[in-house]
């Protein structure tokens, strides 16, 4: 996935001093890199009997929607508080640079459905661990968590325990 890593821009000191933000907008603007990233994910999950893809706010929506389309599944979204119009379950968690809260519609996933979680980046694993918790709370089974980028030095996989993880690019 060397081509994909070259399509990702580093932004030093964003959102705060000492953090190097991995900017995927450059990958999204590169038609070849974007297509390759989506096609690779779709091919990986085509035979895994995924019932629904879950995209995590906000950049996970982009990849999640494209992967769901490619797999012929529905798309479930997890959002920040107050953005979903129906009854929700909520979870708060620690980020690498603060705290946050996410919500999912209570009826977004049917018990037993096989869920593929898609996001742009795995850093410390806090966001993804929270999303896995929400999926399991409403009865879904996480097939795997898929990322475009994984920051290996932050060891986010460890926070996910036995949940399978796949990433296209490692930094």
> What positions carry a catalytic annotation?
59, 96
Distance CA 105, CA 110 (A): 11
DSSP-derived secondary structure for the chain:
-HHHHHTPEEEET-SSTT-EEEE-HHHHH-HHHHHHHHHHHHHHHTTTT--EEEEETTHHHHHHHHHHHHHT-EEEEEB-TT--SS-EEEEEEEETTEEEEEEEETTSS-TT-EEEEEEEEESSSHHHHHHHHHHHHTT-EEEEEEEEEE-GGG-HHHHTTTS-EEEEEE-
Which residue, chain included where needed, has tokens 């950049």?
Answer: 59
């Amino acid at each position: 996935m060397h081509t994909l890593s070259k399509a990702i821009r580093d932004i030093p000191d964003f959102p705060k001093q000492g953090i190097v933000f991995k900017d995927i907008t450059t990958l999204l603007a590169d038609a070849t890199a974007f297509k390759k990233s989506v096609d690779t994910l779709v091919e990986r999950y085509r035979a895994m009997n995924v019932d629904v893809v879950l995209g995590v706010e906000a950049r996970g929506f982009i990849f999640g929607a494209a992967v769901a389309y490619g797999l012929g599944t529905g798309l479930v979204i997890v959002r920040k508080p107050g953005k979903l119009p129906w009854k929700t379950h909520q979870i708060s968690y620690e980020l690498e640079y603060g705290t946050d809260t996410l919500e999912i519609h209570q009826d977004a996933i049917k018990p037993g459905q096989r869920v593929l979680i898609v996001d742009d980046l795995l850093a410390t694993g806090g966001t993804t661990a929270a999303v896995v918790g929400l999926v399991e709370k409403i009865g879904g089974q996480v097939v795997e968590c898929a990322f475009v980028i994984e920051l290996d030095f932050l060891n986010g996989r460890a926070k996910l325990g036995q949940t399978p993880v796949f990433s296209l690019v490692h930094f």
